Chain A
């Protein structure tokens, strides 16, 4: 979806919010990955409460945006999918936080 171009410039910070992040499920995933080094699929599923299919879709979207890095490796002959927040993802969270605070501050003024 193309970014909105509001006529009222006061609404611009809202339009500038990162859509890849502005979904509760994806925000939950990134918040969780922000506080750990890396985690596997089961861990994220347990922590976020998302279903396997849902989580898979959101992870694909975040990987597409370059916010997370997904690596598969074998531990004791069993596959393990490890997910890690990239530097881009970390800075995206910071930017999102800054923009969100701006939006709330503007709305409360």
Chain B
């Protein structure tokens, strides 16, 4: 049993080491930035382009940055992880879209940069009530989505983002800030964490040059 636990620990550490490149954090920061930009400008295209397009870049970036440095690995599929991730992505997308569609509006004093989405006139009282709690809703959505992805991947900093996101958004609600301001704060934090991690990762794992490989062979031959 002790050995099984050690193998599980080894698996978990190996899995986590593949997510220490900061790409996930940069991606989260970009999504937050896109959401904030979409809300600030009232341009739904901003949300789509800046917020969701980077998701498509995650795998190519992983292939370009992480795999050449850390190597390629396929983990044994885990039913619980797969199931949670299958829930997390649609949950995240639907939550963002529902909140955006329900509460989005052009903020006062902001000139839209592109076609403006006009909220439907359905359930005006409910929509007004939701609009009053916009930041809180975003905070709760962040908490749930980060929590679910954190549980699926066991990446601890996602739990920290869940709590931080909730706290920042609740703070925004309490101080009556426009929703995009705490979103930009959250984007700045995750971006900063991601960039720092990415720099550390690039320094720790340089791409093996041909000279290194020849050196390794020579060392081996002489030993």
Contact = CB atoms under 8 A, between A and B. Distances in A.
Interface of A: 31-32, 34-47, 51-54, 56-57, 80, 82, 97
A47 B15 CA distance: 11
Nearest to A80: B72
Interface residues of B, number: 27
22 contacts: A35-B14, A36-B11, A36-B73, A36-B76, A38-B74, A40-B71, A40-B72, A42-B68, A42-B71, A42-B72, A42-B208, A46-B71, A47-B14, A51-B219, A52-B208, A52-B213, A52-B216, A53-B216, A53-B220, A54-B220, A54-B223, A80-B72
A16 B72 CA distance: 35
A35 B219 contact: no
Nearest to B17: A47
B7 interface: yes
B165 to A, nearest CB: 32
B70 A37 contact: no
A41 B74 CA distance: 13
Summarize B's interface: helix, strand, loop or mixed: helix
A66 to B, nearest CB: 21
Contact of A53 (B68, B70, B205, B221): B221
Given A35-B14, A36-B11, A53 B217 contact: yes
B216 A39 contact: no
A39 B217 contact: no
Interface string B129-146: 000000000000000000
Nearest to B72: A40
Interface in B47-99: 67-77
A44 to B, nearest CB: 7
Contacts of A43: 70-73
Nearest to B220: A53
B70 A36 contact: no
